[in-house]
Structure 1
Amino acid sequence: TLNNIDENDWIKLNYNSIGLYRVKYESKTLARLSEPITNKTISPQDRLMIQDDVAALCNAGHQSFVDYLKLLLSYADEDNFTVWKSIASTMGDLSSLLEYTDYFDQFKRYRLKMFSSIQQKLGWDAKQNENPLVAMLRPMILSIMGKSGDQAIIDEAKKRFQQHIDGNLIDPNIRGAVYVIVSRYGDETTQQELQKLYKAAEMTEEKVRILRSMGQSSNPTIIENTLQFIFES
């Protein structure tokens, strides 16, 4: 029990996260941390570790993912890319758990709401002298938005993919994201184009990037054909 703390005050334990341990907050205590997270009253390191602690506790079965998803709404205007990278990674893991459940459509709508702000800030193209972390984060966010059904992202990915086929090559940093999105929403023709790119690729990195994307199709028949292509290649 902490003395001289009003029940309506927020408190952040493990200041600057220097201790090597997880902090579990009660739901109401965690909810009160939304204000300093939103206002950025606390440091990026603490904003990072608050959500990371909750995610770890959820994965271990010690806290509800409902608490985690409620908490994340406080990060909508987050400006630290390390924090976003951590959130995106956890949301990717959660997506894998929910993808074939009745809750997945709701989860996709939540992701669109959660990541739309940072995607607009990042855009599609690298900026001069930008932080290398931004270049790493951009394809992750684009993939999330595309797989969540953002039509503008899907349309832009298809446009850039066609330009890539025509010889105007996509920036390698976002190429994987474009491949994933067009594969997910594409048809047999799209898969055939990806197969051609795979056969023409000289670098192993590019071949792996293409193979990973080909497995993202939402069409079971295309997935079967992709498996056959892989075994025969």
Structure 2
Amino acid sequence: PGIPQVNVAAVCKNGQTTYTLTQSRFTIHDPNAKALTWNIPVVAGGPGLETKKLVLGAEPATFTLPRCNAPLKLDLGESGYYRVHYDDAAFAPIAASISKFAPVDRANILGDQFAQFRAGHGALSSYFDLVDRLTAAHETDIATLEEIIGKLETLDFYEIGSPDRPAFQAYARSRLVPVLKRLGWDQKPHESVLDTMLRPSVISALGTFNDPAVLAEAKRRFAIWLKNPASLRPDLVGTVSALTMKHTDAATYEIMAKKVRDTQATELKLRLFQALANASDPDLIRRNVELAYSGAIPNGRISMALSSIASASENPDLVWKLVRQHEAEIRTHLAPWSQDGFLPAIAGHSNNPDILAELQKDPSSSKTTGAKIATAHALNTVAARQEAVQATQSQIHDWLAARTH
């Protein structure tokens, strides 16, 4: 059980570096995690370095390299199952050489560094430093870029409600606009399948970060797609629809809602509804909640659909209020297996203590073992997220202030 962490300390003396490896347990938001010990197979190496292999047990392991400032990375080739925490002396050479590592290692370095931030052991500024170095070197690898995109979107989500969010979004756009410029909106002849797969992610992220050119182009292409469904590649339909729905008007909303009602194929229906769920206007959120239990969505997916609205609209508190007003009726449509997790799935998107208290007081939250588990899971999710939001907003505030000086 649990996830091992290898801690790396480097000391340079007389032209050689001594590395000391120790192990601990990696956790996020788990104050009662028991200490565990593993036998951890470690593969270490880097650009221009020989590969070292060892098994790290309970005792520290040490070895030396005949040079200083070597970009020695652990978990080379992402060959192991553990997190790595480097001290500053060990990490600085890795950061300086990150673009020289193989793509799998670039993505792994980013993942480890973000995980250290989430665990409270690393600074976001050093994660942004890696992103800046990679994008300045014109990163093209899909694994590395998807890693960057996913984390920037997570941070943007944590920035909801922060006055620094527009400045953070401007930074995120500046990292990704050059990637979209290289890819373009349309598939090129002979482009790699990985570029084809990357395109929707980049467009979606830039739209999430409120890039005006991307939002305008999505709206333009959406209007053409309504008249001619063949005008848009299937892999862009969800992205373009979702970005258009974010700031849509009632007339365009209704066209999309009709498509949801009329489409027979369940998976396509749910994809269209997922796009519709992005609407942020309070009246359209109300209409989305009503649509979810109107019979347009299969009973087994209603709970998931309502949870989608709570998340995608960025207004879970309004969704909770609407659901509570119509709860008795909604429950008559729910599949039996989704009754237990129905309210926790919506409350889990809110940071409002009143809503969480209301969830806990509701008799349905302790009616069955399943309901108790779902409620506990929602409360834990919110507590972990609030911790992340607090750390993100304070560190991004300081990081932005340092960038402008």
- TM-score bracket relative to the smaller structure: 0.7 to 0.9
CA distance in 2, matches of 1:196, 1:113: 37
Q: Deviations over 1:86-122 (max 9, x none)?
A: 2222222222222232232122111101111111122
Distance 2:95 2:177 in 1: 19
Number of the residue aligned with 1:61: 120
CA distance in 1, matches of 2:177, 2:242: 18
SS in 2 for 1:24: strand
Correspondences of 1:1-233 after superposition (within 5 Å): 1-3=10-12, 4-5=16-17, 9=69, 11-14=71-74, 15-26=76-87, 30-37=91-98, 40-76=99-135, 77-169=138-230, 170-232=232-294, 233=296
Q: Which ranges in structure 1 are unaligned for 5 or more consecutive residues?
A: none
**Are residues 31 and 117 of structure 1, via their aligned partners in 2, closer, same or farther at CA, if it must alter by over 3 Å?**
farther
Q: Which moved more, 1:46-55 or 1:195-204?
A: 195-204
Q: Matches of 1:48 and 1:7 in 2, distance apart?
A: 26
Instruction: Pick 1 or 2: higher relative contact order, CA cutoff 8 A, min separation 6.
Output: 1
Bigger drift between 131-140 and 142-151 goes to 131-140
**Partner SS for 2:69:** coil
CA distance in 1, matches of 2:263, 2:253: 15
Code of the aligned partner of 2:73? L
Q: Would the aligned equivalents of 1:112 and 1:148 in 2 still touch at CA under 8 Å?
A: yes
The change in CA–CA distance for 1:178 and 1:25 in structure 2 (over 3 A counts) is: same
Query: How far, CA to CA, are the matches of 2:290 and 2:148 in structure 1?
Result: 35
Larger Rg: 2
Distance 1:68 1:28 in 2: 16
Structure number having the greater strand percentage: 2
Q: 2:254, 2:68 → 1: CA distance?
A: 59
Is this contact kept in 1: 2:71–2:97, CA < 8 A? no
Partners in 2 of 1:52 and 1:41 — Cα distance? 17
Cα distance in 2 for residues equivalent to 1:30 and 1:220:
47
Does the 8 Å CA contact 2:73/2:94 hold for their aligned counterparts? no
Task: Report the TM-score when normalising by structure 2.
Answer: 0.53
Partner secondary structure for residue 161 of structure 2? coil
Query: In 2, Cα distance between the equivalents of 1:207 and 1:17?
Result: 38
Shift of 1:27: 5.0
C-alpha RMSD of matched pairs (Å): 2.3
Higher helix fraction: Structure 1 or Structure 2?
A: 1
C-alpha distance in structure 2 between counterparts of 1:63 and 1:192, whole Å: 46
